[in-house]
Amino acid sequence: MHAITAEHLTKRYGELAAVDDVSFEVPAGQLLAILGPNGAGKTTTLEMLEGFIAPTAGTIRVLGADPRRGGRRWRARIGLVLQSTSLDAELTVETTLALFGQLYPDPRPVRDVLELVDLAGDAQTRIGALSGGQRRRVDVAIGVIGRPDILFLDEPTTGLDPQARRRAWAGVADLTATGTTVVLTTHYIEEADQLADRVVVLAAGRIVADATPRELRTRGGASSIRFPLPDRGLAAALPANLAGHVTPDGRALLIRDADVTAALRDLLAWADARHLDLDGLEVGPPSLEDAYLAATGGSLTHLEEGSHV
Amino acid sequence: MSDTTPAAAARRPLPSAATLLAAQVRYQFRLLFATPSALVIGVGLPVILLIAANAKHTGAAASDAAGYAVFGLTMTAWNTNGVRLVASREQGILRRWRAAPLPPWCYFTGRIVAISLFATMAAVVTLLTGMLFYGIRFGGAAWAVVVAVLIVGALAWAAASTAMTSIVPGIAAAQPTFVLTYFPVVLLSGALGHLSGEPGWLATAVSYLPGQPVIDTVSRAIGHGDPVSAHDMLVLAAWAAASLLIAVARFRWEPYRPAQHRPARAPAPASPLRCRCGSCGRESLMPHVQTVLGPVDAGNLGRTLMHEHVFVLTADVQQNYPDEWGEEDERVADAVRRLSRLPEQGISTIVDVTVIGQGRNIARVKRIGEQVPGLNIVVATGCYTFDEVPLFFWRRPPRAMTELFVRDITEGVAGTGVRAGMLKCAVDEKGLTPGVEQVLRSVAQAHVQTQAPVTIHTHAASKHGPAILQVLKQEGADLDRVVLGHSGDAVTDPGYLQEMAEAGLTLGMDRFGIDHFATFEARSALVAELCRRGLADRMVLSHDTCCYIDWFAPGSLDDLTQWHYLHISQDVLPYLRDHGVTEEQIDAMLVRNPARILAG
């Protein structure tokens, strides 16, 4: 059973299909990341799930209901962190959270929520005196204060500094651990990689990939070997199958391939024969980034395989 | 019913609508007391009028006090309420409330009730001032009538102004709209002195507007102890009810966005594989970037230097004193020789940010580009000035400049067929002078229209970043596509750069080799430090060098031995690697960030 089901979801603005025949499901308790470049249709998709805009075609079920007819009880089970909202600058953080908490049947205590978003020290600060990143955290606090069954996060960490972003990820991970279903949009690949059970990649309104981060990686990405050559003369002495991978400046060997086992074996044998230390050798897993770039713009045959819409 | 585990919360009752409404009223009431202008209009203004009237004809009449009290009441309920509501909507506050499990009517009814109570209190204060200082006397029964009609009157005006906000497009239009609709009604109603010469039909019409019934009831109650007239109360109740109905049906939650801030995107592609630029018609999912040799897929740009020049010239000086420049063919051959070494060092793209004011000559750059096939050259449009606009633009409307930029991007430059792939302007030490601001706005507008990225020459030590940001935001620019150029000169101030990066701009660490402003080590250490702070995805690297520049006497730059196109590849990258910068971060600064900025 699924917390969210979207089937053939389409939103047209005149000629433009902002979202074009998109289908996916989110099982309860999972975290889905919707990843894509600006203008790919991420926010439009989210706003249809949230019930703010009506799809041109297709059906949506969120917690068993059509979001356009959800009603107050349904909405009380949904937590939202939208883009470009703001709060009255004159009130304190604590007052604001208490105000929103009153709307729910069983709100989290304001103290707990402040701890969760790391703002306990700013309870008495007026909203207007907070930095952009801190305001974003208040948005997140409001999103979770009602103990939502589903939390929608539209680019929740945009504008946060790297440390705050990491803490926000930890907070989201805690929520999913307690069974909250989360849908977030992001253009930080790392964010999707860290948090998501599944990643849907959108480009120009269409799904170009729907997979786990791990599947995506193995599908599109290549592993890498990096070995800084102790001196430039060594490049000439490399076996032929490795020599082609020397970087243009002659200072390193850099190999990217779906399977680097053979190359690694050859490199080890070669180094062993020359009694070379392998200081600085790095072997990296395929990166989600490569997979993402491949999905949003790489080879087309790959995309056809990758997408199951 | 539900597909998920039913949470305990789902079984608890929701708070009742009455509880929610009471909470909203309290909240809005509190906000009003934190808004000084609301107090000034509701209490300050009427009391000043009362004092002035008293000074004019000693002993203000009861009708004066009544008029001023109602003036404050209606001004608050109509104007203050309407303008604040539009402001909240434009800031996105209403958008946040709509997302909460609060019945929509509860939100704006809360606002209407709160402002009505506030306006009534203000009017009562005015009347009390009249009693205390100017000898106006009336009894308890009159007070009951007065307070009742004030509350109902305020509700009618506040509901009407709430309904009215749905047709007010933005905050700039709010004040004039509310003021211009307010004063005719309130003056004709006699709030600031009774009229006597108006024609009969007008007097009848005014008696059906919500102003006169309040004023007449209050002044009759004060003056003669008269009760409320049914006609007056019915008029007010009808206004309140009709306005509420309109507000429920038409209330607008989303900020108003003028059409020009949302440039029309290309029509829906016939297949998802057609390029989204809408003009080239190529079959590609990958966004592309324009170079002197035509479009290139963003994924194929490779290592990119985001801020370089081929030649920087003073065009009309060159036309008249061409000796130093010498032979065109030799200069071109020299440039081909220098640029050909870039691909050998792993650099496959440069952005030539030479624009108007720097002797841009795209035909010449194209000729060079054709002879360096391994290097993509992206060219720019824009205008380089530290103060006034060039005289060419002096007496033309500002849009003339924007139009030229847009033409360079969408049609190509000067008949070469080469399209500009970047916009550029300069904000130097003098900051946003009127001329510089005009160019910045033109560049931002061309960017919004065409989605071409932007780079801005800055004088890092003067920290004009925040002022630039403000203009960019006003123009609706996509900050993710804007480079704050020459940020790398701010070697002593990483905090400023971090702020700018966190605001969404990309930092141009783009003068490697110009040791006059900062040494190689200082520049490199700054990049390493910002990488440590997690900002590798907010930096791009470059030299800002060229093959020839006529802004300096020959030989005077000879001490800049490392100011050439290969310095980053040969010296800076090894330094960065030795100082903890990872390959992944270098890749971000040289490959991914440029691709993101150039292609969107």
Tokens of A144: 């979770």
Across the interface, whether the CB atoms of A181 and B503 are under 8 A apart is answered no
Question: Which of A85, A94, A187, A189 to substitute to test the interface with B, most B CBs within 10 Å?
Answer: A85
Measure A160 CA to nearest chain B CA, in Å.
Answer: 7
pLDDT at site B279: 46
Across the interface, whether the CB atoms of B272 and A203 are under 8 A apart is answered yes
Question: Which of A4, A5, A77 to substitute to test the interface with B, most B CBs within 10 Å?
Answer: A77
Compute φ and ψ for B484, nearest 5 degrees. Answer: -90, 95
Q: Is the pLDDT of residue B256 over 60?
A: yes
Could you read off the pLDDT of B478-514 as tens digits, one per residue? 999 999 999 999 988 899 999 999 999 999 999 999 9
Q: Which residues of chain B are within 8 Å of residue A303 when distances are taken between CB atoms? A: 285
**Looking at the partner chain, which of B8, B255, B267 has a beta carbon nearest the beta carbon of A16?**
B267
Handedness of CA B12, B16, B20, B22 (dihedral sign): negative
**Looking at the partner chain, which of A38, A77, A289 has a beta carbon nearest the beta carbon of B480?**
A38
Q: Identify the top-confidence range among A292-296, B60-64, B100-104, B112-116.
A: B112-116
Measure A54 CA to nearest chain B CA, in Å.
Answer: 15
Measure B10 CA to nearest chain A CA, in Å.
Answer: 7
Could you read off the pLDDT of A63-113 as tens digits, one per residue? 999 998 888 999 999 999 988 788 999 899 999 999 999 999 999 999 999
Measure A67 CA to nearest chain B CA, in Å.
Answer: 12
Q: Is the pLDDT of residue A174 over 80?
A: yes
Could you read off the pLDDT of B418-434 as tens digits, one per residue? 999 999 999 999 999 99
User: Which of A291-300, B73-82, B475-484 bottoms out in mean pLDDT, i.e. has the lowest?
Assistant: A291-300
pLDDT at site B3: 39
User: Which of A141-155, A253-267, B3-17, B208-222 bottoms out in mean pLDDT, i.e. has the lowest?
Assistant: B3-17
Please say whether the beta carbons of A10 and A17 come within 8 A: yes
**Looking at the partner chain, which of A29, A85, A293 has a beta carbon nearest the beta carbon of B299?**
A293
Across the interface, whether the CB atoms of A15 and B268 are under 8 A apart is answered yes
Determine the straight-line distance between the first and last CA of chain A, rounded to whole angstroms: 20
The residue among A306 and B550 whose pLDDT is bigger is B550
Q: Is the pLDDT of residue A309 over 60?
A: no
Q: Which residues of chain A are within 8 Å of residue B575 when distances are taken between CB atoms? A: none
Greatest Cα-to-Cα distance within chain B, rounded to the nearest angstrom: 101
Q: Which residues of chain A are within 8 Å of residue B91 when distances are taken between CB atoms? A: 86
b (16+ CB within 10 A) / e for B348-369 = bbbbbbbbbbbbbbbebbbbbb
Question: Which of B2, B4, B598 to substitute to test the interface with A, most A CBs within 10 Å?
Answer: B4
Measure A195 CA to nearest chain B CA, in Å.
Answer: 19
Across the interface, whether the CB atoms of A298 and B299 are under 8 A apart is answered yes
pLDDT at site B277: 46
Question: Which of B1, B3, B20 to substitute to test the interface with A, most A CBs within 10 Å?
Answer: B3
Return all residues near B279 (Cβ < 8 A) that are at least 6 apart. B266, B410
Helices B62-74 and B104-134, packing angle to 10 deg: 160
pLDDT at site B59: 57
pLDDT at site B11: 64
Mean pLDDT, chain A, rounded, equals 83
Integer Cα distance of A138 and A144 in angstroms? 10
pLDDT at site B4: 41
Across the interface, whether the CB atoms of A86 and B35 are under 8 A apart is answered no
pLDDT at site A209: 83
Q: What is the share, in percent, of chain B residues with pLDDT greater than 70? A: 92
Find the closest chain B residue to A80 by CA distance. Answer: B99
Question: Which of B5, B30, B96 to substitute to test the interface with A, most A CBs within 10 Å?
Answer: B96
Measure A226 CA to nearest chain B CA, in Å.
Answer: 9
The side-by-side arrangement of strands in the sheet containing A31-35 is A78-81, A150-154, A181-186, A31-35, A198-203, A206-211
Could you read off the pLDDT of B543-573 as tens digits, one per residue? 999 999 999 888 888 888 889 999 999 999 9
Across the interface, whether the CB atoms of B100 and A103 are under 8 A apart is answered yes
Across the interface, whether the CB atoms of A84 and B27 are under 8 A apart is answered no
In this prediction, residue A274 has a pLDDT band, given cuts at 50, 70 and 90, of: confident
Q: Is the pLDDT of residue A285 over 60?
A: yes
Neighbours of A226 (CB within 10 A): 18
Q: Is the pLDDT of residue B192 over 80?
A: no
The C-alpha angle A95, A97, A101, rounded to 5 degrees, equals: 115
Across the interface, whether the CB atoms of B95 and A84 are under 8 A apart is answered yes
In this prediction, residue A287 has a pLDDT band, given cuts at 50, 70 and 90, of: low
User: Which of B55-69, B77-91, B484-498 bottoms out in mean pLDDT, i.e. has the lowest?
Assistant: B55-69
Neighbours of A100 (CB within 10 A): 23
Could you read off the pLDDT of B27-38 as tens digits, one per residue? 999 999 888 888
Q: Which residues of chain B are within 8 Å of residue A91 when distances are taken between CB atoms? A: 27, 30-31, 34
Across the interface, whether the CB atoms of B12 and A208 are under 8 A apart is answered no
Find the closest chain B residue to A140 by CA distance. Answer: B96
Q: What is the share, in percent, of chain B residues with pLDDT greater than 90? A: 56
Averaged pLDDT, B1-5: 40
Measure A27 CA to nearest chain B CA, in Å.
Answer: 9
Find the closest chain B residue to A106 by CA distance. Answer: B9
Could you read off the pLDDT of B292-333 as tens digits, one per residue? 988 888 888 899 999 999 999 999 999 999 999 999 999 999
Integer Cα distance of B291 and B420 in angstroms? 8
Find the closest chain A residue to B600 by CA distance. Answer: A38
User: Rounded to two decimals, what is the model's pTM?
Assistant: 0.57
Find the closest chain B residue to A147 by CA distance. Answer: B9
Across the interface, whether the CB atoms of A28 and B4 are under 8 A apart is answered yes
Find the closest chain A residue to B14 by CA distance. Answer: A105
The side-by-side arrangement of strands in the sheet containing A57-62 is A16-27, A2-13, A57-62
CB pairs under 8 A between A and B: 174
The residue among B280 and B100 whose pLDDT is bigger is B100
Measure B13 CA to nearest chain A CA, in Å.
Answer: 6
